Structure 1
Amino acid sequence: MISRESMKKIHIMGKRAHRTPLSYPEYKKIAQRYFEYTPKPEDADFLVFSFKLDMLENMEEVNDLLSKRPDMRLVILSEEPLWDTVWGGEFLSKKSKVLLGDREHPVVVLNHFTTSIYDYESIPYFVTTSDDYFARYSYLFSRNRNLKGSDLTALWGKASLRAAFYAENRDNPQYDVHFSSLDVWGLSRYRTLVAKGMAGAGVARVGQGWGETVRRQQLPDWHLDKLAALDRGVFFASGLENTHQWNYVSEKIFDAFAVQGVPLYFASADHGVMRLVPPGSFVNLYGLNPDAAIERLKGFRPDKEFLDRYLEAQFMLHGVFSNSMNLARERRRIVGEIVAEFEVID
């Protein structure tokens, strides 16, 4: 704990202000030991944004603030590689510049590429942002650890859904970004094309753009709704991310294992998911184009080796989510990394 006088004053700005590590209530409890959250932006030492677009949408106010407070610093603290790679500009440079109207300002960019904030030890960042994820996974993986191969064979044989894809319909080439030297791939359109290509009955496509009138995030509890809808009733459960980046793992693959579906994922041999579950415990579509991925799924039959790896994954995930200290340590580590980054901003 540091004295209030030496705390760095921050103001988080923009309509996506809730989508940055310092905004989630569970993280804010820890971060308030090191940062003072100022209600008024003019009182801050740092203006924090989760996304470059938030800065552009508030350019007049930001320019005015910096005219009055030239010592104020701009920081993008991004949790989404999708935002960085599609709309973020120079996402590989920690020290960058942003043009707001006719004025250019220095900006510090803290994301999956420029920092070690998201280099998780036991639990990937996104599922640490709410206690709900841990509580639900703790219960479900405790249940699942007692599964047998014969249980799975019977369950998948009578599943009412052959496949489920819970993600927005994004059939737009702008999402087809790739940076081969970084092994970074945009997957939003890829997973949309795979979902569209799964012909026949028993395929659930759920999310904005698939004909729904209400965004899933507007439901009282979109995550619980998904788990309840799919639990023990789906064969293929898509865990495909919006971006392939070595340390980016969202809730999706955990959901797939939790509901006892066969996870679909896209991961290179060096991807962080390989530290969470064994290779071979999910259907890995890495290196396959959408058409080839669909053919792979058509021909997939879980054999004994797959069942063994799948059961091993369930046991490993039970180990991760049965110890609440894993969650506490990960949150403290992330806040510590963020504090260290702010300490060296000049």
Structure 2
Amino acid sequence: MIRVFMAGCDINRSPLSYRALAPLFEGAVERVARPEQADLYLFTRGLGIRDAPRDLVMDWRARRRPVVLLSEEPFWDTTCTRRPLERDIVIDTAFGALPVVQLNHHTSAIFRFARIPYYLLTNNRFVNAYRWRFARNAARGAGHWKRAFADRAVDLTFMFERRMGAPYDGRWPAGDTIALCDWRSRMALACDTGAVERLGQSWQGGISRFQLNNWHFDKLMRLDDHCRSMGAIENTHQPGYLTEKLFDAFACGARPLYVAGPGHRVHDLGLPPAAWLNLYGLSPQEAAARAAVPFVDDGFRDAYHAAQVRLAALFGDTGALLAERTRLRAALLAELQGVLDRAAALPGGDPSCDPGQSAVSKGTSTR
């Protein structure tokens, strides 16, 4: 049994916290109420470690138990710590610096999915929604898509947060990691051909979609059979990082606009390249121009139908879903046990971080 003290902002964004995933770890991981009861301390965001409670830092000074940053979100890694490729980092707190083991898409095997991307496991609503919609879409022949794309009044819809500026830009070539929020926001603004929609609080005002009881259901209902193309660009290009965005576009019957380098795992899905538009390597202006090119022809319709059939088979395969959950459990437990084994091999704790020395003085500031 691994005893874990979980703290910090967004701690609900963890495989150990999601209602759909937490039962996988019963009998193997125990969440404890106090730092001094834990084998390790676990956070999900660098910001949470910066704001670590005093009793945790004091307990680390006394016992030197591992501090783990279990980050499922490359966006956090690129905007907060800005060091997404390093497994061992140091983060300042109000009570001194802490050495941190960063487990994310790049540094661990936890999120390296086999067939179904990790994020789609975090809530059962994703697979449930896709199973029905892709079965429906697969039953529609190429002739249906010819009529559907011809009849739609909206050419292109974007529904993602508008985020611009230096914090949302950056590249880490060694990990093929690119911050895309600034890029995709500028690309959306550059699209001015035909009927273009930019939806959501950051574009239109009003309440955030995430205040809704089921933001994903709301999105699918609003955009089903609605537009010809849909922005499905992730907030971060990381080879193993896929969220709901690409699948939502296909589920709604739209052509996805995506960004994926040659080594990106999206290519492992086996979707015909003609069924979606890959904007990798383009400037925002070039991407906008590419998205405006007419695309609905016989080749596209056949490829799009084939993509729907393939996605219906994927999400209709209960065995694939169960295998992915089993893989996730094994990978996370192996990583956590590895962290503990490494700590046990260092008597007295990690000597790399003097509790009296800040990360700034060590030249490794995360600020």
Are the aligned partners of 1:45 and 1:71 in contact in 2 as well (CA < 8 Å)? no
Counterpart for residue 67 of structure 2: 74
Alpha-carbon separation, structure 2, partners of 1:172 and 1:215: 21
Superposed CA deviations along residues 168-207 of structure 1, whole A, max 9, x for unmatched, are 0102232111123432211111111122122266322223
How far the C-alpha of 1:61 sits from its partner, in A, is 4.2
Counterpart for residue 309 of structure 2: 315
Q: Does 1:110 align with 2:106?
A: no
Bigger mean CA deviation after superposition, 58-67 or 48-57: 58-67
Q: 1:230 to 1:88 in 2, by over 3 A?
A: same
Give the TM-score normalised by the residue count of structure 2: 0.88
Are the aligned partners of 1:9 and 1:46 in contact in 2 as well (CA < 8 Å)? yes
Alpha-carbon separation, structure 2, partners of 1:304 and 1:293: 23
Alpha-carbon separation, structure 2, partners of 1:326 and 1:184: 27
Counterpart for residue 16 of structure 2: 22
Alpha-carbon separation, structure 2, partners of 1:34 and 1:272: 30
Q: Percent identity?
A: 32
How far the C-alpha of 1:102 sits from its partner, in A, is 5.8
Which residue of 56, 62, 67 corresponds with 2:56?
62
Q: Which 5+ residue runs of structure 2 have no aligned equivalent?
A: 344-367
Which residue of 269, 275, 282 corresponds with 2:262?
269
Paired residues, what number? 339
Which residue of 250, 253, 262 corresponds with 2:243?
250
How far the C-alpha of 1:308 sits from its partner, in A, is 2.0
For 2:88, the aligned partner's letter is K
Alpha-carbon separation, structure 1, partners of 2:56 and 2:49: 7
Q: Does 1:210 align with 2:203?
A: yes
Superposed CA deviations along residues 39-85 of structure 1, whole A, max 9, x for unmatched, are 33332221111111111122534323324x42422100000111112
Q: Does 1:52 align with 2:46?
A: yes
Secondary structure, counterpart of 1:210 in structure 2: helix
Bigger mean CA deviation after superposition, 162-171 or 176-185: 176-185
Secondary structure, counterpart of 1:316 in structure 2: helix
Q: Which 5+ residue runs of structure 1 have no aligned equivalent?
A: 1-6
Alpha-carbon separation, structure 1, partners of 2:304 and 2:68: 41
Runs of 4+ in 1 over 6 A off after TM superposition: none
Counterpart for residue 147 of structure 1: 140
Secondary structure, counterpart of 2:202 in structure 1: coil
For 1:53, the aligned partner's letter is L
Secondary structure, counterpart of 2:204 in structure 1: coil
Alpha-carbon separation, structure 2, partners of 1:50 and 1:339: 16
Counterpart for residue 234 of structure 1: 227
Alpha-carbon separation, structure 2, partners of 1:87 and 1:233: 36
Superposed CA deviations along residues 269-307 of structure 1, whole A, max 9, x for unmatched, are 221111112322201111111100111112232222222
Give the TM-score normalised by the residue count of structure 1: 0.93
Counterpart for residue 212 of structure 2: 219
Counterpart for residue 306 of structure 1: 300
Secondary structure, counterpart of 2:30 in structure 1: strand
Counterpart for residue 178 of structure 1: 171
Secondary structure, counterpart of 2:275 in structure 1: coil
Give the CA RMSD over aligned residues.
Answer: 1.7
Counterpart for residue 118 of structure 2: 125
Instruction: Work out which structure has the larger RCO, using CA pairs closer than 8 Å and 6 or more positions apart in sequence.
Output: 2
Alpha-carbon separation, structure 2, partners of 1:274 and 1:91: 23
